[in-house]
Amino acid sequence: MVFRTVATRSPLAPACHVARAYVKPKTQLNVRAMSMRARPSTPRRVVSGLVTVTAIVAGAAFGVYCLDSRAGVHRWLFPPMMELLTDPESGSKISIKLLEHGLAPRDCGKDDEVLRTELFGKTLTNPIGLAAGFDKQGEAIDGLFDLGFGLVEIGSITPEPQPGNPTPRMFRLPLDAAVINRMGFNSEGHEAVRERLHARLHKWVQRVLSAGEGLVSSVGAPAPEPTALAEAQVFANYPVINTSLLDDAHVPRSLKQDRLLSINLGKNKSSREDSVVDYVKGVQALGAYADMLVINVSSPNTPGLRRLQRRSVLEGVLRDVVTARDDVAKQRIDSLPLVVKVAPDLSDAELEDVADAARASKIDGIIVSNTTVSRPAGLLSTQHVHEAGGLSGPPVKPLALHALQVIYKRSEGKIPLIGCGGIMTAEDALEFARAGASAVQLYTALAYRGPGLPRRIKDDLAARLRAEGKTWKDIVGSGLRDVPSYAPDAVNQVGLYPGAQDAFDRSVASVRHEIEQLRESFEGHASEERRALPFDIDEHDDRFKELLREAHRVTDDVPHFNDASSPQAGVLPQRTSSVPEHLLLMAKERGLTQGEVLHEAVHDAAAVPQAPAPALAASHSADATPMSTDKAAPDHTTLGGLKGHEAKSVPEAYRAPSTAEKRVV
């Protein structure tokens, strides 16, 4: 409305008063004119309504279609779009968020009975698992189980939060369907993940109590029995929700029937390389929430971590972690399997050492394998191929398969193995099973083939097994055969970070220089005669004689003397002899070398004697070793510039050997 002031004169008011009046603008007249126009006809309104309803129904149908992981868009449309529009790490984060909030597809099929298997005494509806590295913080566990995996592994998780390596740290090799990553254990830490797992448990218990449901989202598994639902109601009697109520209700930590939740434990970069404390902390903090724990000693992106795979170190690490696991397992009814994850870049001898260490430490299983630092021949991609980090995908499959065969053969099939590395099809899974894998894991293939990959692999796998008239358990280890030995090719290794190769080359050159110096030192003194300090022998000192025998036994087993120089100067043998075990223990405790502790032991037993009188030497000349009269007078100078004189008569057992038996360095 527009107000306009108009001056009017009223007989009842003074002329100066002004009244306000409303004046309708022209725009209002135009609106009224438009309202007078004819409305759309009935047929047109019907057509418009039908189009709207059709669009709504089509959108709903497409949404329902997309909820099934087998939909073609999840293989042919969405993965290429993700690859085109995002970098690898951003694409992974988007996928995690979609899975976390229930916006991802689900496996709507049912697992075939031929796929049912057992792992560590626990039943699995299928042997297809997700490897660690995708859901590092445990944010989308339920969404990942809904994709149809029988085993989901989260992590690696470190005790303290750490950001990992600088970005970019993940690279696609699309022509090879592979990925290179150097994430560096980016983790929110034990406490953050533990709180997230506890919140998941709390939410699930509340859902069970409010809806009277059983195991949430038991995709691919038979419906739970009514008795199981009744047992689940025991949760109502718990004033505080904790993991012990799962034991009473016989519910796995995955909260899914016949599924396993695995937690991968890593180390902080700031921790000592040889320290096992980080793994023990992980067992204590997260063991209560896991169906299975994994010790990661094979990531190539944490400096020094792979050195823990040496048997002498690995066995000690595993024993300490097994002890911590046993303490946690006492507080739960079911078992808590502990497995170790190894690299594919080990030689056959090193792989056999891993198998021996696993058996000796009584660990429950081995995951074979992690990413490789090598760049196998035949890679088609050229961009990013020389980036530092671990390579995953089909190129690592031959290495992982070979490592699996070696470990299975060495362990005689007595240790459950999980195959991982380059699995993209049902045929790949069958190859790993025949090589000894009780279950398999994939990760990289999920990014290239979409969320429907687990269902496609399971369907194809079931069809192949039924055609052979076998089950998954029947083929595990059935195709083991002798394979050529393998040793890593150092030429194709890639460093942990830019510039690492140069540092490695400098280290190698330094070691070679030290070896050359040692060789020159040994060659320069090869012909020199090494003598012990001069000493006198008291024929009544039995204790001293026994110590002397022990010293000679350590060095050469035969006590003898150099009669050409001084009858009391012992000559060390050419070969290097072993040191007694008690002396080795003493050296280790005191931080001494073997030579230092041996020298100290002999020196403490016998002090350097005083020079005897000349008459004493003459009185015993008849008992001394005969010497040729035409020889020059002996030189009594020994090592260290000490003057040696002829000592008393040497007992029969300590006399010098004959000329033919005499040995001088």
* Alpha-carbon gap, residue 95 to 147, rounded angstroms: 12
User: Per mean pLDDT, which range of 76-80, 243-247, 446-450 is the poorest?
Assistant: 243-247
Asked if the model's pLDDT at residue 633 lies above 90, the reply is no
- Domain positions in the chain are 65-188+257-475
Res 169 pLDDT > 90:
yes
Compute the chain's Rg from CA coordinates.
40
Q: What's the number of CA atoms in the CB half-sphere (13 Å) around residue 376?
A: 20
How far are the Cα atoms of 146, 238, 253, 627 from residue 195, in angstroms, in the given order?
Answer: 22, 19, 15, 88
What would the mean pLDDT of 29-34 be, rounded to a whole number?
54
The alpha-helical segments, DSSP class H, found in 499-613 are 500-524, 542-555, 581-590, 594-605
Closest CA to 157 of 285, 338, 19: 285
Q: Tell me, what's the pLDDT at 36?
A: 54
196 or 556, which is more confident?
196
pLDDT at 560: 46
The kind and range of the H/E element at 167 are none
Q: Which of 65-74, 88-97, 140-149 has the lowest mean pLDDT?
A: 65-74
Q: Which long-range contacts (CB under 8 A, 24 or more apart) does 393-396 make?
A: 393/173, 393/176, 393/177, 393/178, 393/179, 393/422, 393/444, 393/445, 394/176, 394/177, 394/178, 394/422, 394/424, 395/176, 395/178, 395/422, 396/178, 396/344, 396/369, 396/371, 396/372, 396/421, 396/422
Which pLDDT band, with edges at 50, 70 and 90, does 64 fall under?
confident
Alpha-carbon distance of 372 to 319, in angstroms, equals: 26
- The SS3 assignment for 148 reads coil
Mean pLDDT of the 369-377 span: 92
Q: For residue 266, is pLDDT > 70? A: yes
User: What CA dihedral angle connects 282, 287, 292 and 295, to 10 degrees?
Assistant: 10
> Is the pLDDT assigned to residue 226 strictly greater than 90?
no
The residues assigned a catalytic role are 299
Specify which residues 390 forms β-bridges with.
Answer: 181
Give residue 645's pLDDT.
40
663, 561 in Cβ contact below 8 A? no
pLDDT of residue 557: 52
Query: How far apart (Å, rounded) are the C-alpha atoms in residues 659 and 651?
Result: 18
Nearest to 124 by CA among 336, 461, 470, 439: 439
* pLDDT for the residue 626: 44
Predicted model pTM: 0.67
**At 370, which helix (H) or strand (E)?**
none
What pLDDT score was predicted for residue 364? Answer: 96
**pLDDT at site 524:** 55
By C-alpha distance, which of 364, 362, 368 is closest to 309?
Answer: 368
pLDDT band (50, 70, 90) for residue 205: confident
Q: Which CATH architecture has domain 65-188+257-475?
A: Alpha-Beta Barrel (3.20)
